[in-house]
Structure 1
Amino acid sequence: MKRTLALVITCLVVLSFNVRPPVKKPLFAVQTCTFHHWSFLESIDKADSLGIKYLEVYPGQAVGGGIPGAFTYTLDADARAKLKDYLKYKKTKVIALGVVDKYYYTRENLEQYFKFCRDMQIPFMTAEPEPGDLDLFNSLGLKYKIKVALHSHPRPESHYWHPDSAVKAMKGRAMIGAWPDIGHWARNGANVVDGLKKMQGKLWGMHFKDIEAFDKVEAVDVVFGKGVCNLPAVVAELKRQGFTGVITMEYEANDWNNMQDMRGNKKYCDSLFNAVYH
């Protein structure tokens, strides 16, 4: 009996060493700009139908549902409470607000965006600060415990269109990290995988997309896997880094009738990430 018990214990110990813990994967979100012809509340429902429970919401999107105004700091307490209740009901979380750039913020109203994020329990603000405002963003991030993640719109307007400029802006600023748009990187002629390598350690999220042509600012979005962004190489680099941040899917084509394409994009992401993160 003792020999049998010892054998069972030995087998259990061996099995416990052979059982691998589940691999932590990135969170999948959708940028509601994908659904900019619809309201924020409608975007929640669209994302839910895709099986996506995280949103990055741009601050100009109309709320909808009879609630006046846009999803931004000007919403009153009653509107915010209603949105919190609906998000809870849908088991959905706003993971980021953005992109907050010069078209939305001033030095006078910037703190209101941080207060709004704190109140709505939004952990990230994706942003393109004016270079002279980087320290202000960083200090407000520290004050409100909101991480500021640098986005990259196309050249020449964006201050952070090239990965090197974002690296320089992040240096020495603990609350400023990276949330690049890999499609815009490719439009700008920047190698996506090389750019991701430069962001290692402060890569908090990204806009995940594919485009038709490299080094062409006018290049349009295409369904994932059909363009030049080499998404398998991108995901392999993320796995190498141990990245478990936010993958924000964004699709800026066929925008009046994009749900079929988005279902394909989500299926592509599921397949690719499951194959690489295993």
Structure 2
Amino acid sequence: MTYTRRGLAQALSAGALCVPLMAGRRLKIGIGAYTYHAISTDAMIDQLRALKVTEIEMSRGEFMNFNKPPAELFGSFRSKIDAAGIRCVSYYAPTIKDKADLDGAIRFARILGCSNITGDPTGGVLKYVDERMSEEGMSFGIHNHYFKNRKFDYESPEDILRALDGLSETVGCTLDVGHIVSCGHDTVDAVRKLGPRLKLVHLKDIQARGGEVNVPLGQGLCRIPEVMKELHRIGFKGLIALEYEKDGDILDDVRRQIAAARKMA
């Protein structure tokens, strides 16, 4: 069927044509490695291969910088994921209190082949993060978080935007939509406010505000379909890393959630 210019406009206004948002571009779906914290890295790689997941963020506890892991741990893991066709695009280093913390995180990220680091530096070290990461040609995402019974520096979009004020585009945000809800804020509003500075997204769903109970995507308060639509709208190109922070047998849940996320991508 062909349309004149006027006919095309009439068809669009009447809904006769359905043009997909961001046609031809798919959001990138991966996994945050903490999801598999209860199984070995070898078993995790097997699961990633079975799910055809090719990009991850390394966020397992034994790799976190505050646990002072040996460099050999990273080298061994890198060899295994290279062989499996998996890329580690980001390294989660939650403790960046001084220059030494960042320098160590960069060293580990380089071994893994990452282009981004996620963490929560505050105060004076933020300038060093900006300068050092710019020198390295890498990006940094400030991570929002919820902690029960204590105030965290980065809970709301506004907290993060204040920290980013005066910093270069090297430093942005790794937005955890679950923690946004846990802290009482709206996920879609957070994506809209932080969109220009988003480096990575942690995709999860949360049962209730003021808590951290994870539920399968779409069963909680995170407005996951709307979040994905907004990420499409802003043309987000970074990794959307599924995180399912739950103990026990999670493998079937993860498989279903990856499938659901891909349908929305």
* TM category, shorter: 0.7 to 0.9
Shift of 1:171: 2.2
CA distance in 1 between counterparts of 2:140 and 2:226 reads 26
Give the corresponding residue for 1:164: 158
1:74 maps to 2:70: yes
Shift of 1:131: 2.5
Alignment of 1:88-167 (within 5 A): 88-98=82-92, 100-102=93-95, 106-155=98-147, 156-167=150-161
Give the corresponding residue for 2:173: 178
Shift of 1:130: 2.4
Gaps of 5+ in 1: 1-20, 64-68, 274-278
* 2:201 counterpart (174, 181, 206): 206
CA distance in 2 between counterparts of 1:123 and 1:152 reads 20
* 1:235 counterpart (225, 228, 238): 228
Alignment of 1:228-267 (within 5 A): 228-253=221-246, 255-267=247-259
Larger deviation: 140-149 or 115-124?
115-124
Q: Secondary structure at the match of 1:200?
A: helix
The one of the two structures with greater contact order (alpha-carbon pairs below 8 A, sep at least 6) is 2
Partners of 2:140 and 2:199 within 8 A in 1: no
Distance 1:39-1:173 versus aligned 2 partners, 3 A rule: farther
Distance 1:158-1:49 versus aligned 2 partners, 3 A rule: farther
Larger deviation: 32-41 or 258-267?
32-41
Shift of 1:140: 1.5
Give the corresponding residue for 1:10: none
CA distance in 1 between counterparts of 2:68 and 2:23 reads 37
Give the corresponding residue for 2:59: 58
Alignment of 1:217-236 (within 5 A): 217-236=210-229
Shift of 1:106: 4.3
Shift of 1:62: 6.0
* 1:84 counterpart (72, 78, 87): 78
Partners of 2:97 and 2:125 within 8 A in 1: no
**Aligned CA-pair RMSD:** 2.5
Gaps of 5+ in 2: 1-21
Shift of 1:72: 6.9
CA distance in 1 between counterparts of 2:67 and 2:48 reads 16
Q: Which has the larger radius of gyration?
A: 1
Aligned pair count reads 241
Give the corresponding residue for 2:186: 191
With normalisation by structure 2, the TM-score equals 0.82
Residue identity in the other structure for 2:52: G
CA distance in 1 between counterparts of 2:108 and 2:212 reads 34
Give the corresponding residue for 1:9: none
Partners of 1:187 and 1:219 within 8 A in 2: yes
Partners of 1:31 and 1:57 within 8 A in 2: yes
Partners of 1:73 and 1:116 within 8 A in 2: no
CA distance in 1 between counterparts of 2:66 and 2:162 reads 33
Shift of 1:125: 0.4
CA distance in 2 between counterparts of 1:189 and 1:109 reads 30
Residue identity in the other structure for 1:172: G
With normalisation by structure 1, the TM-score equals 0.79
Distance 1:206-1:186 versus aligned 2 partners, 3 A rule: same
Q: Secondary structure at the match of 2:124?
A: helix
Shift of 1:243: 1.1
Percentage of identical aligned residues: 23
CA distance in 2 between counterparts of 1:264 and 1:91 reads 22
Shift of 1:70: 10
Q: Secondary structure at the match of 2:241?
A: strand
CA distance in 2 between counterparts of 1:59 and 1:118 reads 17
